[in-house]
Amino acid sequence: MMILFLLTSFFVFGEVQDPHWDHIQEVSDRHEFLKSNESITQPQDTWQTLFSLVYVDQNVQKVKDCIFFKVPGKDPGTLKIKSIPYDQLCDTYLLNHGDKEFKGIKTLQFSTSDEEVIISYSTMDFKSKNLTALLQKKDSPIVTTMHLSSAEYRHPKVLFLASKLIQGDSSKQSFKKDHEICHNIDEDCREISPSDCSDCERGWYEVPNGCPKGPKYCGIQNCGRQNAPACRRGLKWQRKEGVFDCQLDSSFAYCSKGLSIQCEGRKAFCR
Amino acid sequence: MKRHSDNSIIPKIILILCSLSILSIILLFLRPQENVRTKKKRPKSNEKLFSQVIKASIPSILKLWEEGDRSFPEKGVQCHDEIDHQKEVGLSYYQCNPHFWQCYWQSGTTQFPALEIDLYGQTFHVVARPSFNAIAEYSPSSRFYDLFKRASSDTDLNYGYIVELAVKEIPGLFQRMILTDTCRDTYLPQRIYGYGRPKERQDEGFIWDNFGRDLFIDKFYVTNRQLNEWRIFKGESSKVEPDRKKWPLPALISKKEQIEYCSFYGKRLLEAKIFDAAAMSPTDIKNPTPDNIDRPDTPWQRDLSKTFLGVARINPDYQLTPLDCELAQVKGCEIKYFSTDSVTWMGFHYPLGFYPESLENFIEPSKNLKLSSHLLDPSSPWHQLGKLSEWKSTERDPLPVAFRCYEEVTL
């Protein structure tokens, strides 16, 4: 009997899962406390958001599969998968019906690595099952070398699209507006918020302030012209000391011939 | 008593050991999952098999996409709606070229187009599907690709080409993907650069650097083929160039439109100082912070007098050789497009000769034209790096001015 029990419990079944799980872009919405490779046993009889798997749908919109788990207690556990638009919170759907549900779970754990995410669970009838999602790897590391193209730098050469279509909010403003700040650097060179200049539809421009990285804004603004921001000259000319006065040293920027640099605070403009 | 006790324990130990051994053997036998992964056993489900065949086909797909020049048949192609190949067009034009992709899959280069993938002891045939609406400006046929331009900030990818693949041996399953344009631009290494030509030898002129900046420059001029895609995106069908012979040629549009075209793709019209950086070979490539920034006269020879351009200035009867014309297409050369011998140290083409080229210049705004071109005799003083002219871009201006874009990428 013992042998038979052991035999049964060592059979591991791969669940049939959506093909788009072979091309996951990133893992998001990670649970704050639940850890990889640890059986989830607490808090019993509650729904928890484990994480979400982000991919791109047929309309080239980012979407995600939220992975929820009802921790077994009085009742067996349930694994629930729900596909939602990328910009929405998984927790909003915590108590909704899933697109897929796996009930009768006795124990569950997950493991994540750079290459894959595996959800392993065993059922009340002693069957072990695995769900595996593969993360799409970058073709090249983000190391800039000669002959690298911008397409390869920012993305794998091929972007797989899931056959799914998830309806998002079409009214949402998805690009940042022209001249809206996209990388906020203060006058003391502190990064107030990380760059989201890739959200600018038509590129971005920088207003040099003597810092190694100056504040950036979406859209087009030709530098060096009259009343426009001065042009950035390069890192060699940026300030290296804490004490800095744009009025005394403006070599970090330049203007078109015939114009001179005027400082507004530490930002350089051409007059 | 003692002997009796020994006799009764040993068989029990043997029995336990035997049971454990049998159990271990059974358990080892029943742990196939690891082996499956390492030996890549053929998946049972069609979906999984399909997914693996598609994944295995990616190198072949990319080869066809990125190296279309290598698949271009010597006897030419049979797809007149897509390609009207002229001998003056270099085959590098067909790299990352959606018209070549269309031509290949509609049997324009081979009768039965398919990519053969050997997997699990079987040969699978991966094919593209004509799943996309016809683009009336090109042809009435369904397309094997769709133009993609991002409409939201959901993806970092600015533009690309959506394709749909199938596997003949696994019917009913399809995979869509976006092929990116990895052939268009090239990276400008981070170092100190010089702009223009200083008036005196002791003067270091204007120097700048791009440390901490990731700049990517178009390798070739923007073509009519690329401009057509922009026109289609903008709904300006009437402006699409219908003559296939002109598709590989440089797009000749007003400066306003050049700026609009580049910004549509999140790029900028090429700047004069970046042009010089891409064209002027550094004296010591390994040292990104040299004390002196040299300004070579040409990309392939620092001293103009040692080049055919220098010789032509002294000798008005100089006879151009085919090699001269590969380096810099000047007046008297046979016209060629997408020739690759003019490449500079970082992968930039046409630094001298070929077409006049429009540039932004925030240092000296009136110097916004690289005038060196096939319109000028080899003896012209404009055939020298760092020498720029002015382009006013008026409607009456008959000068054919090409352009290209660059992009600063921040992740």
B360 contact residues in A (CB cutoff 8 A): 222
Between chain A and chain B, the number of residue pairs with CB atoms below 8 A apart is 188
Of the candidates B110, B161, B157, B111, which has an alpha carbon nearest to the alpha carbon of residue B135? B161
Contact in structure between B308 and B315 (CB atoms under 8 Å): no
Residue A189: predicted pLDDT: 87
Contact in structure between B408 and B215 (CB atoms under 8 Å): yes
A98 falls within a domain: yes
DSSP summary character for residue A230: P
SS3 at position B275: helix
Residue A128 CA to residue B330 CA, distance in Å, equals: 73
Residue B208 CA to residue A182 CA, distance in Å, equals: 25
Torsion angle of the four alpha carbons B27, B28, B32, B33, in this order, in degrees rounded to the nearest 10: 80
Residue B173 CB-density burial (10 A; 0-12 exposed, 13-18 middle, 19+ buried): middle
A142 contact residues in B (CB cutoff 8 A): 411
Contact at CB, A159 and B160, closer than 8 angstroms: yes
Contact at CB, B182 and A154, closer than 8 angstroms: no
Closest partner residue to B347 (CB to CB) among A86, A147, A163 is A147
Whether residue A186 is found in the same domain as residue A130 = no
Last residue of one domain, picked from the residues A134, A149, A165: A134
Whether residue A227 is found in the same domain as residue A122 = no
Residue A14 CA to residue A131 CA, distance in Å, equals: 6
A111 contact residues in B (CB cutoff 8 A): none
Contact at CB, B153 and A155, closer than 8 angstroms: no
Tokens of B74: 């010597």
Q: What residue ranges define each of the domains in chain B, with the CATH number in brackets? A: 46-179 (no CATH), 184-411 (3.90.1580.10)
| Maximal CA-CA distance, chain B | 123
Residue B220 CA to residue B183 CA, distance in Å, equals: 10
Tokens of A209: 């302030």
B192 contact residues in A (CB cutoff 8 A): 234, 236
Contact at CB, B62 and A195, closer than 8 angstroms: no
Q: Return all residues near B86 (Cβ < 8 A) that are at least 6 apart.
A: B245, B248
B47 to chain A nearest CA, in Å? 7
Residue A82 CA to residue A29 CA, distance in Å, equals: 13
Whether residue A69 is found in the same domain as residue A130 = yes
Contacts of residues B339-343 at CB distance under 8 Å and 24 or more positions apart, as own/partner, are: B339/B90, B340/B90, B340/B92, B342/B299
Residues of chain B where predicted confidence (pLDDT) is lower than 70: 1-8, 18, 25-39
Contact in structure between A182 and A217 (CB atoms under 8 Å): yes
A161 falls within a domain: no
Residue A232: predicted pLDDT: 92
Residue A168: predicted pLDDT: 65
Residue A76 CA to residue A227 CA, distance in Å, equals: 69
DSSP summary character for residue B90: -
B151 contact residues in A (CB cutoff 8 A): 60, 174
pLDDT exceeds cutoff 60 at A16:
no
B102 to chain A nearest CA, in Å? 18
Residue B327: predicted pLDDT: 94
A165 falls within a domain: no
Mean pLDDT of A54-78: 92
Mean pLDDT of A188-197: 90
Whether residue A127 is found in the same domain as residue A185 = no
Whether residue A118 is found in the same domain as residue A185 = no
Q: What is the DSSP string of A32-59?
A: SS--TTS----STT-EEEEEEEEEE-TT
Residues listed for chain B: 411
DSSP summary character for residue A174: -
Closest partner residue to B155 (CB to CB) among A58, A62, A147 is A62
Whether residue A14 is found in the same domain as residue A121 = yes
Dihedral-angle region of residue A179 (phi above 0 means left; psi in -120 to 50 means alpha; beta otherwise): left
Those of residues 154-173 in A touching chain B at CB distance below 8 A are: 154-155, 157-161, 163
Residue A226 CA to residue A259 CA, distance in Å, equals: 7
A86 contact residues in B (CB cutoff 8 A): 154
Whether residue A115 is found in the same domain as residue A203 = no
Last residue of one domain, picked from the residues A106, A134, A162: A134
A158 falls within a domain: no
Question: What are the two backbone dihedrals, phi and then psi, of residue B55, each rounded to the nearest 5 degrees?
Answer: -60, -40
Sign of the alpha-carbon torsion through B250, B255, B256, B258: positive
Give the best residue of B42, B58, B182 to mutate against chain A (max A CB count within 10 A). B182
Residues listed for chain A: 271
Contact in structure between B103 and B83 (CB atoms under 8 Å): yes
Contact at CB, A198 and B175, closer than 8 angstroms: no
Range of the domain at A220: 181-270
Give the best residue of A3, A4, A86, A150 to mutate against chain B (max B CB count within 10 A). A150
A150 falls within a domain: no
Whether residue A113 is found in the same domain as residue A192 = no
Closest partner residue to B263 (CB to CB) among A147, A161, A202 is A202
pLDDT exceeds cutoff 50 at A4:
no
A202 falls within a domain: yes
Residue A191 CA to residue B250 CA, distance in Å, equals: 42
Residue A235 CA to residue B206 CA, distance in Å, equals: 15
A38 falls within a domain: yes
Those of residues 90-129 in A touching chain B at CB distance below 8 A are: none
Tokens of A45: 């009889």
Mean pLDDT of A175-182: 93
Residue B28: predicted pLDDT: 58
Closest partner residue to B154 (CB to CB) among A61, A153, A183 is A61
Range from A2-11, A56-65, A212-221, B297-306 carrying the lowest mean pLDDT: A2-11
Question: What are the two backbone dihedrals, phi and then psi, of residue B278, each rounded to the nearest 5 degrees?
Answer: -75, -25
Torsion angle of the four alpha carbons B87, B68, B169, A164, in this order, in degrees rounded to the nearest 10: -130
Query: Rg for chain A (alpha carbons), in Å?
Result: 26
Torsion angle of the four alpha carbons B342, B343, B348, B351, in this order, in degrees rounded to the nearest 10: -30
pLDDT digits (tens, 9 = 90+) for B42-101: 888 898 899 999 999 999 999 999 999 999 999 999 999 999 999 999 999 999 999 999
Residue B186 CA to residue B167 CA, distance in Å, equals: 34
Whether residue A15 is found in the same domain as residue A124 = yes
Of the candidates B112, B94, B107, B161, which has an alpha carbon nearest to the alpha carbon of residue B132? B161
pLDDT range class, residue A15, cuts 50, 70, 90? low
Contact in structure between B391 and B356 (CB atoms under 8 Å): yes
Q: What is the 3-state secondary structure (H, E, C) of A63-87?
A: EEEEEEEECCCCCCEEEEEEEEECC
Whether residue A205 is found in the same domain as residue A107 = no
pLDDT range class, residue A239, cuts 50, 70, 90? low
A144 falls within a domain: no
Whether residue A18 is found in the same domain as residue A110 = yes
Residue B236 CA to residue B356 CA, distance in Å, equals: 26
Q: Which amino acid is at A153?
A: Y
Residue B157: predicted pLDDT: 87
Residue B79 CA to residue B107 CA, distance in Å, equals: 8
A103 to chain B nearest CA, in Å? 22
The total domain count for chain A is 2
Contact at CB, B61 and A161, closer than 8 angstroms: no
pLDDT exceeds cutoff 90 at A9:
no
Contact in structure between B40 and B49 (CB atoms under 8 Å): no
Angle between helices B46-66 and B98-105 (to 10 degrees): 120
pLDDT digits (tens, 9 = 90+) for A90-131: 999 999 999 999 999 999 999 988 889 999 999 998 889 889
B278 contact residues in A (CB cutoff 8 A): none
B180 contact residues in A (CB cutoff 8 A): 151-152, 155, 157-159
Whether residue A8 is found in the same domain as residue A91 = yes
DSSP summary character for residue B94: G
Residue B100 CA to residue B87 CA, distance in Å, equals: 16
Q: Return all residues near B111 (Cβ < 8 A) that are at least 6 apart.
A: none
SS3 at position A117: strand
Last residue of one domain, picked from the residues A134, A169, A196: A134
What is the complex's ipTM, to 2 decimals?
0.85
Tokens of B127: 């094919």
Range from A67-76, A128-137, A142-151, A200-209 carrying the lowest mean pLDDT: A142-151
Residue B50: predicted pLDDT: 94
A155 contact residues in B (CB cutoff 8 A): 155-157, 180
First to last CA, chain B: 83
A212 contact residues in B (CB cutoff 8 A): 212
Contact at CB, A236 and B45, closer than 8 angstroms: no
Closest partner residue to B148 (CB to CB) among A60, A149, A176 is A60
In Å, what is the CA distance from B148 to each residue of A220, A241, B145, B163, B230? 23, 46, 9, 10, 11
- How many CB atoms lie under 10 A from the CB of residue A191? 13
